[in-house]
Structure 1
Amino acid sequence: MSVGEEVRDTQAPPQQSLGTAAARNLATTTKSAPQMQEITSRWLLKMLPWVQVQGGTYRVNRRLSYSVGDGRVTFVQTGDRVAVIPAELGELPALRNFGDEEVLAELARRCEQRDVGAGEVLAASGDAADRVFLLAHGKIEKVGSGLYGDETELGVLADGAYFGDRSLIDGDAVWEYTARTLTPCTLLTLSRADVYNLAERAESLQGHLAGLLSIPEQRTNHYGEAAIDLSAGHVGEAVVPHTFVDYEAAPREYELSVAQTVLKVHSRVADLYNQPMNQTEQQLRLTVEALRERQEHELINNREFGLLNNCDYGQRIQPHDGVPSPDDMDELLSRRRGSKLFLAHPKAIAAFGRECSRRGLVPESVDIGGHHVPAWRGVPIFPSNKIPVTDARTTSIICMRTGEAEQGVIGLQQTGIPDEIEPSL
């Protein structure tokens, strides 16, 4: 050691009391119950009126409706070429219930592909209509003429839609509106000439078209239901019409679906580690939460009874500018009477809020059970992350009325099952 070097004591001072690390060995920790991020507010389950289905099946009896093939057409894509699936041509009213697959395949081959840019007119109001347009990709607006000759927007068509189908069987058909592309579009066209040229060689198609023309047009109301003959406003001894209300011969039936699992808890865990929280109860609680989340997911997305898949195509609209706007929400409300609620993904609600802010609007809120929920025109907008958001950042907003008395959406359940811990669970 050199002279003058300072000597420092590097040893820690002796411990004067019990340390916290050792004290924890004798302490009882305060802990939370097991948590999971999957739990959501599940507003749909809370807001739906639930109907007891004792027999396991719910039948919806309705008036007779005449189907007009109002579905969507599906396509297949190979590179830059698009083709319609032959069987999907049966969605066109003129080919409804036509089952000759070879003829449908030939019609599909005769469809011509067109790639057009935005702003192009595909059909002009008043011109002769001689072909049907099948929209594979893009958006098309239907424009009509107002009272004073100004343009009036009649709607927006998107992927899978078709228009001009009446021209396949009516040689005198004219376009009742102007069809103009909003975005670059890929379309397929099938002309009336191609259909009738093929019909000259295919007896099945010729017979189908002849039978279609010979059937008198059914009298229906605005919703496609068989008309009820009435007389009103007459004077004197008028002949009062005779009528009856016809029903669907095979109404749709909904069978109760089930979500289930087998929960396993080791007896050693339940016996030795059951304090201060019951292990079985906590496992069961989290499993029940997962089942309820799956229940709401199925109510929205199930292919058989889910809301998204059962919404009538005539009740679906496309946004005018890509983002949900007040105009779109108003149009959605106008599609039905007595709308009770909107259901949307939180990202869609945020996008709608930004659009309102951009326009200088402040959406109101309503009180639902002590919760302040955003609303539009007094109809609450409930969030649900079960509504999917695609990779292209598109999603859906559902508007519905509820209850049997209003012919609206209901939930089906069967209570009183063995070992029930919650209604129908």
Structure 2
Amino acid sequence: MQGISSRWLLKLLPWVQCGGGAYRVNRRLAYTVGDGRVEFIQTGANVQVIPLELGELPVLRGYEDEDVLGDLAGRFEQREYEPGDVIVAAGQPVDTVVLVAHGKLEKVGEGEYGGEAVLGTLADGSFFGADALHGEAHDWAYSVRAVTAATVLTLAASRFRELADRAESLREHVTAFRDRPERAASAEGEAEIALAAGHDGEPVLPGTFVDYEPEPREYELSVAQTVLRVHTRVADLYSQPMDQVEQQLRLTVEALRERQEHELVNNRDFGLLNNADLRQRVHTRSGPPTPDDMDELLTLVWKEPAFFLAHPRAIAAFGRECSRQGVYPEPVEVQGHHLPAWRGVPIYPCNKIPVSRTRTSSIMLMRTGESAQGVVGLHRTGLQDEVQPGLSVRFMQIDEQAIMSYLVSAYYSAAVLVPDALAVLESVEIGVAQ
């Protein structure tokens, strides 16, 4: 069976018994108020803005009604964009506010000599179009285009007005913001700053709000199942020299384990690629994975990094970059295997990490174990008719056509205990397919 792989992820993850079918992770919620950037909560592939972080938008600065802000945060819609996609186009009405959860965007407009010019860069935590919530109707003076894969949250001005019509406190706050006199501008076009010199004072510092997450994440065990059907004639007549039912079950279990590893990497709810915190994702500097990029990952998971996980082609691309730069990292020996490594941290191959149509992939670095507040696998052992930990084979029936049926089930999930336990290097170019 050619589809059987080494399945290093299943071997390396420390597996935690999940007796009640769910595993709760209580984290502290921490974000910075007044830093000019919006922060988010991530659950798998789903991203939500922290309600109080909406106070970074000028029109909502100083507004503190948490119930209204929570309602407003729930009205944002998540959108995904690929490199090159246009998010807003010049000349269209400004009727939406956009929060950049992850990715890199460029503001593109007409240059000094009539050509296209990049007017600015937007990245994680940036926002644009906020004046749609309070200003008069006008058009975009520039376009915004995705440079990398991007995740944004959008809110139509009409949905904001619907909420303001129902919430008197929000309506009064927006009215007061509109009526606030504009500050004088300096010769450079900047707002004048009121200064006082020669006295002792205390500057206003950004404040940090720390609390437990209001809705702790609970990871429920996922299941992969199939029904194996074998004719009794095959089992009776052809089970020598090898037991046909046993061999059929063996290959079925192998296929389920392969699917299990695929889900642990790619599932939108608990897959590691989707559960990496947005602040724990970095892009390559030049395309192919370089030693500098791997060092950048190590700065994100610097506390007891356990291993890198990469597609075999990404590992080959990293090897080419090392050779090009004259760097020859020492391999490490693990369970009798000689594996490539960087800074002494082994790099394991995993063919479940996807390769995009543009020949890019990802590299993960993780810390593992409950005691290290790392990444753990979740399973339930002690199942009826269990043949492997977390995997059971149950005889179901023999139907009227003399076909035996076996239900094969595997239960599993994975949890990232704290955000800095997992980091992802994205947009890794692996070269042209041969």
TM normalised by structure 2 equals 0.58
| Amino acid paired to 1:251 | P
Residue 163 of structure 1: aligned partner: 126
Residue 263 of structure 1 aligns with which residue? 228
RMSD (Å) for aligned C-alpha atoms:
4.6
Equivalent pair of 1:103/1:205 in contact (CA under 8 Å): no
- Matched residue count: 300
1:70 to 15, 19, 40: 40
| Pair 299,101 (structure 1): closer, same or farther in 2 beyond 3 Å | closer
Q: Report how far residue 247 of structure 1 moved.
A: 3.2
Compared CA separation, residues 103 and 208, structure 1 to 2 (3 A) = farther
Is the contact made by 2:101 and 2:278 (CA closer than 8 Å) also made in structure 1?
no
Alpha-carbon displacement from aligned partner over 1:302-344 (angstroms, at most 9, x marks no partner): 1111001111111101111011111111111101222111111
Query: Which stretches in structure 1 are left out of the alignment for 5+ residues?
Result: 1-35, 73-86, 105-110, 116-130, 142-155, 170-180, 227-245
Could you tell me which of 364, 389, 410 is aligned with 2:355?
389
Change (3 A) 1:217 1:60: farther
The offset of 1:219, in angstroms, is 4.0
| Aligned counterpart, 2:317 | 351
2:345 paired with 1:379: yes
SS in 2 for 1:412: strand
Which SS does the other structure have where 2:283 is aligned? coil
Q: How far apart, in 2, do the equivalents of 1:89 and 1:392 lie?
A: 33
CA distance, structure 1, for counterparts of residue 228 and residue 279 of structure 2 = 44
Q: If you compute each CA radius of gyration, which structure gives the higher value, 1 or 2?
A: 1
**Residue from 383, 387, 391 that aligns with 1:417:** 383
**What is residue 47 of structure 1 aligned with on the other side?**
12
Amino acid paired to 2:242: M
**CA positional deviation for 1:389:** 0.4
1:199 is displaced (CA, Å) by 6.9
> Are 1:113 and 2:76 counterparts?
no
Deviation of residue 70 (structure 1)? Answer: 3.0
Answering whether residue 365 of structure 2 is matched by residue 399 of structure 1, we say yes
Give the whole-Å Cα distance in 1 for the aligned partners of 2:40 and 2:353. Answer: 24
**Which string of whole-angstrom CA distances, capped at 9 and with x for unpartnered residues, describes residues 60-114 of structure 1?**
1222445954379xxxxxxxxxxxxxx999998448645499999xxxxxx8525
Q: Check 1:266–1:211 CA distance in 2 against 1; reply closer, same or farther (3 A cut).
A: farther
SS of the residue 2:388 aligns to: coil
For the Cα contact (< 8 Å) 1:387–1:395, is it kept in 2?
A: yes
> Is the CA contact 2:285–2:293 (under 8 Å) kept in the aligned structure 1?
yes
Distance in structure 1 (CA, Å) of the matches to 2:149 and 2:212: 41
How far 1:182 moved relative to its partner?
12
Aligned to 1:364: 330
Match among 311, 324, 340 for residue 306 of structure 2? 340
Check if 1:280 corresponds to 2:250. no
Q: Distance in 1 between matches of 2:101 and 2:24?
A: 35
- 1:182-241 Cα deviation digits (max 9, x unpaired): 997999x9xxxx98xx97996469954876999x99943xxxx61xxxxxxxxxxxxxxx
Distance in 2 (CA, whole Å) between partners of 1:410 and 1:395 is 23
Structure 1 residues 295 and 182, CA gap change in structure 2 (3 angstroms): same
Structure 2 unpaired stretches of 5+ = 33-37, 43-47, 61-68, 78-86, 92-96, 108-120, 133-143, 178-203, 392-434
Q: Say which SS state the counterpart of residue 253 (structure 2) adopts.
A: helix
RCO higher in 1 or 2 (8 Å CA, sep ≥ 6)?
2
Aligned residue number for residue 291 of structure 1: 256
Runs of 4+ in 1 over 6 A off after TM superposition: 87-92, 100-104, 135-138, 166-169, 181-187, 198-201, 209-214
User: Is the alpha carbon distance of 1:211 and 1:48 closer, same or farther for their aligned partners in structure 2, counting shifts above 3 Å?
Assistant: farther
Structure 2 vs 1, CA of residues 352 and 265 (structure 1 numbering), >3 Å: closer, same or farther? same
Q: Which amino acid aligns with 1:163?
A: S
Contact 1:402 1:410 in 2 (8 A): yes
Flag the 1:43–1:253 CA change in 2: closer, same or farther, 3 A.
same
Contact kept, 8 Å, 1:344 with 1:384, in 2: the verdict is yes
State the alpha-carbon separation in 1 of the partners of residues 214 and 99 from structure 2.
33
Distance 2:70 2:382 in 1: 44
Q: Contact conserved, 1:400 with 1:408, CA < 8 A, in 2?
A: yes
Contact 2:265 2:271 in 1 (8 A): yes
CA deviation profile, 1:30-66 (whole Å, cap 9, x unmatched): xxxxxx0000000001110011111111111222445
Question: Which residue does the alignment assign to 2:424?
Answer: none
Distance 2:6 2:371 in 1: 26
1:297 and 1:386 in contact (8 A); partners too: yes
Q: Deviations over 1:237-271 (max 9, x none)?
A: xxxxxxxxx53343111111111111111000011
**Distance verdict in 2 for CA 1:324–1:59, change over 3 Å:** same
Partner of 1:107: none
- CA deviation map 1:12-46 (0-9, x unaligned): xxxxxxxxxxxxxxxxxxxxxxxx00000000011
Q: 2:288 is matched with which residue?
A: 323
Structure 1 or 2: more strand by fraction:
2
